[in-house]
Structure 1
């Protein structure tokens, strides 16, 4: 396994384990710390979905400001409530639900009147669960179909006269940190006592049968209601207050009620008057009346249009929590460029579309869980990749600097940009220079290794600097000599001119360098330069482990032999007539020093003669 694949595999495994741990906790209902994020994401999805039309099953009779003004007091008297119930009952509703806590005794006659009215109709009244420490939720331990239901300390029950006359349901809801009601528990426990929620009791009465309780759902009227952990029903609101048909209790008391708003409907009576305090914030409305929250839950139970979040949906959430971080880490490892980021953005967009589409189809997939599972591994792995990338960049920068020192200046950069440069031989015109020190071999025998190295190092440095200034390339240093090429990595029209300029510059700088040496050393050293222009074959030579750039051909051989002629003729530079012709009559060789020629000369190892020129800088003697 490669050095890069192993860390990626480890990161994928760790990301999957992180997601699996979060997914298992979510499946068990233990990720309470994500509720705030999930609530915000749910509100956003609800707003994107927009308002929805509620089922034509429910009418809310609101004890609103108008009804309070009509009666002159709040709360309404029990006699007034009795009139409300009697008036509504005569119009044939499926059920009448009073979202009111009738826990305190009133005037005896009025209480008796209300009890008679309740007993004469299919009615449900409210009770409340009281939790230890003022909490709104406590889970009952144990196994079986009712395991995990809210476990109350006790129930705040209506007066016996009312509870004997009507069915009773618990009105508690579960809110998030913002106070928005997210769930309605359908069952409650207090010790060994099990009670039904207000919405479920009303729906059961309207359906004409008691609910059947299973481990992960309820059955009501032959229809299965999928519930979350502890038999809680998720809420999704239809819109702002008044979205569910609402009429004022004053309209009922004044006898101006349209019978069609009551017939075969569930009628929910509740307080909406200013200052009653029974309001909740929702995505659509900051003060949605509690009676509309209860009515929303009843509508979900009757119409089956609630969002579903049960053990199977939670299992799907766990799957996303495992897969999404692994996919993001894999994409980060696959490509760390714009393409990889685009792929990551595409995956995230697909997940968002799937999540939103499921929500529009009443399936509540978690948004917070996959985000929590995916973001930390992606950030940590991305940061690790950046750190490793920086380390690699520093390593390659160091290697590049080293390459620049080993290769000719500019050649290493060119090779980095053009990896296939000279992978195949090429023929090109170029100017070739050779420079060599005379007398160095004998001198090195007396100087010793350290002094010899320092002498060569200073000579190589001046050669490299001058060649670079003139635009050439030192293809190789050969002990006390160097081969210089003008025409790589790309040929130019002024290569011969620059080569002639380099000849003059090298002569001048080498003379200055020799003058700076001790007399005992300088007196034993000299130099010669050979220069020629023509066609060469450039290529890479060597095996896979080590290669070098080489130039071969007759032009190279002639330039090398011209050094010998320069030494024989006591000249500093021997240059071919072809080279001077290519350089032009304005080149530096014609403008400085002494130039003699042309003269026909035999070149060792080459048939025929060659026209050459000899040059010596001004002020120097043979």
Structure 2
């Protein structure tokens, strides 16, 4: 988990660095869509009463022709000027001379009122890079190949402002460059020039701030004004130039306001897609920026905001991964959901209050590391599951059917010794020690594997558990995990089955049939102490007590009397009438037999299988 957290922090740090430089193109594309989503969630708002638009619309073009003649423009400016606006701004490129009389009339009209005319920069590439600089605010401004400036007559009559905007790949204006650079000149943007005239102040720049009189407006990388929109077309009051020429505009809509004159003619091409309107006229884009600058309600996205974005971009994936790695549970997932929800609410609320924190950076910084960490965890879980499945399968191979499942359901099974009734069967090969010296290690391993497989098959067939396997001998216990009424019956059947199968196995192996190899089996029932032996790392389920000792010693009784199997009378009695080993061999008894290490004799039945 630590490696994943470090890798996530490095990834997020790299994205944060690009974000702070303003050069993370794919993040900006994501952010554009997410910014539009936030705008839709918050909805349109009313624009401050700062700007009015006089639109050269279809009705104006139909009555006066298009484009409007310079003489008609002069008359329009004079008519609006008479209503005492603060500034008249022409969002029109007047780069070519027209008829002398009309140009002179328009220049005179512009001189009569504070006015701004449009210029535009032509850049070599459609996409311009911006970088941050703490020393020279102009060093971050891209340089235009050439500037499309109004002719000298109009430039002498009005201030000049550059109308270029910075759009995303979908064409939506996201920023207004407040300063534009040509080869030999530096110009303020059209909105900044208009706002400066309207406020009666000269703008001043520091690397991250625009100062307009007593107002300090944060700017983004490259001295750009982040742009958000109040609403769709018409949110900023718009009047037809035809009505203005006819004297049909109320003076209250003009007096003391900035008036922006621009084209909204259908097919004019000067339109932009925005969150609220797919074809917002360019004149309303300019008017929105002017309103933001004058009212000071522009959204804040400066170096401090970007630094916070970068910090959050590092913290969020590290926090989510730490929660995932801490414990994958409902509590952890709830904590992750709470963190994500808190971030989403904070982001939207901040946007509504004029702070544009990145939504794309935390998402891009968090999703890949978290998904990779989750995939690694799933892979590790699958490996663990495979390992545990293999262990479970091995446990099922070693333990009796049902015992492995019981342990899986109840891991504390036999963690403390339990006294209970059980039946025990011991089986051992006779003469195997001498055989081992004669046939070699590889053959010994082969013989013992065959012996164990035979014993295991027979134990499983009768529901017994091999609780120990000691080379050429084994103990099979009946009564785990819980005692059953037929434990003794199954133990007797298992003992007889072992006798028949071992005799056939020894006879069928040509390497063993001619040697003095035999077997002996003992079976007894009674109380045992079942428990786990060993440490926490390695444990063995086994049974101890007098019953187990007697069952083991009964093998000696069988061998000493020339039989293959000795079954205690107690076992035969518990097995009941269904125990009929005499049908598969010769059964004798009961006889009294002394048990080594035991003072009292017990009654036993002796069994020998029929010759093959």
TM-score, structure 1 as length reference: 0.89
Instruction: Give the conservation status (yes or no) of the 8 Å contact 1:536–1:552.
Output: yes
1:21 to 14, 33, 45: 14
Q: Is the 8 A contact 1:443 1:521 kept in 2?
A: no
Q: CA deviation at 1:222?
A: 1.6
Match of 2:269?
Answer: 277
Alignment of 1:377-396 (within 5 A): 377-388=369-380
The residue that corresponds to 2:543 in the other structure is: 551
Structure 1 portions without partners, runs of 5+: 1-7
| Counterpart in the other structure of 1:127 | 119
1:33 and 1:281 mapped to 2: Cα distance?
20
Contact kept in structure 1, 2:320 and 2:336, CA below 8 Å: yes
Relative to structure 1, is the Cα distance of residues 166 and 560 closer, same or farther in structure 2, using a 3 angstrom cutoff?
A: same
Q: Given that residues 89 and 96 in structure 1 are in contact (C-alpha distance below 8 angstroms), is that contact kept between their aligned partners in structure 2?
A: yes
In structure 1, which of residues 113, 117, 122 is the aligned counterpart of residue 105 of structure 2? 113
SS of residue paired to 1:126: strand
Map of 1:248 onto structure 2: 240
Deviation per residue, 1:477-511 (Å, 9 max, x gap): 23322110112234444433332332232122122
Taking the TM superposition and a 5 Å limit, the aligned residue runs for 1:471-620 are 471-518=463-510, 521=513, 524-543=516-535, 546-587=538-579, 589=581, 593=585, 595-598=587-590, 601-617=593-609, 619-620=610-611
Most deviating of 299-308 and 344-353: 344-353
Structure 1 position 459 matched with structure 2 position 429: no
Which residue matches 1:5?
none
CA contact (8 A) 1:138 1:152 kept: no
Aligned to 1:48: 41
Q: Contact conserved, 1:150 with 1:187, CA < 8 A, in 2? A: no
- 1:261-276 to 2 correspondences below 5 Å: 261-276=253-268
Question: Bigger shift: 97-106 or 332-341?
Answer: 332-341
Normalization by structure 2: what TM-score? 0.90
Residues 139 and 151, structure 1, Cα contact 8 Å, conserved in 2: no
Q: What is the aligned partner in structure 1 of residue 25 from structure 2?
A: 32
Find the aligned partners of 2:486 and 2:294 in 1 and give their Cα distance.
92
Answer yes or no: is the 8 Å Cα contact 2:297–2:354 preserved in 1: yes
Distance in 1 between the 2:131 and 2:588 partners? 112
Local SS of the residue matching 2:5: helix
Aligned to 1:307: 299
Asked whether the equivalents of residues 422 and 525 of structure 2 are also in contact (C-alpha less than 8 Å), the reply is: yes
Q: Does 1:215 align with 2:212?
A: no
Unaligned runs of 5+ in 2: none
Paired residues of 2:506 and 2:512 also in contact (CA < 8 A): no
- Distance in 1 between the 2:129 and 2:332 partners? 46
Q: Distance in 2 between matches of 1:442 and 1:175?
A: 94
Q: Distance in 1 between matches of 2:444 and 2:130?
A: 89
1:162/1:328 Cα in 2 relative to 1: closer, same or farther (>3 Å)? Answer: same
Note if contact 1:137-1:151 (Cα within 8 Å) is conserved in structure 2: no
8 Å Cα contact 2:424-2:475 kept in structure 1:
yes
How far apart are 1:297 and its partner, in Å? Answer: 0.7
Q: How many angstroms apart in 2 are the aligned matches of 1:369 and 1:378?
A: 14
Bigger CA drift: 94-103 or 584-593?
584-593
The 1:45/1:543 distance shift into structure 2, 3 A limit, reads same
Aligned residues: 611
Q: SS of the counterpart of 1:127?
A: strand
Counterpart contact for 1:504–1:588, Cα < 8 Å: no
Q: Is the 8 A contact 1:123 1:167 kept in 2?
A: yes
- 2:166 alignment partner in structure 1: 174
Please give the per-residue CA displacement for 1:224-272, whole angstroms capped at 9, x wherever unaligned. 1111012101111222222222222222223332333223322221111
Write the mapping of 1:54-93 to structure 2, written as runs, cut at 5 A. 54-71=47-64, 73-93=65-85
Q: What RMSD, in angstroms, separates the aligned Cα atoms of the two structures?
A: 3.1
In the alignment, the residues of structure 1 paired with residue 195 and residue 437 of structure 2 have an alpha-carbon distance, to the nearest angstrom, of 111
Give the Cα–Cα distance (whole angstroms) in 1 for the partners of residues 129 and 427 of structure 2.
Answer: 93
Q: Does 1:375 align with 2:372?
A: no
Distance 2:25 2:155 in 1: 36
What SS does the corresponding residue of 2:527 show, helix, strand or coil? strand
Instruction: Give secondary structure in 1 for the equivalent of 2:138.
Output: coil
Measured against aligned partners, the alpha-carbon deviations of 1:142-165 in whole angstroms (never above 9, x if no partner) come to 833433123223322212222222
Q: CA deviation at 1:449?
A: 3.9
Which of 230, 239, 243 aligns to 2:222? It is 230
CA shift in 2, pair 1:91/1:594, >3 Å: farther
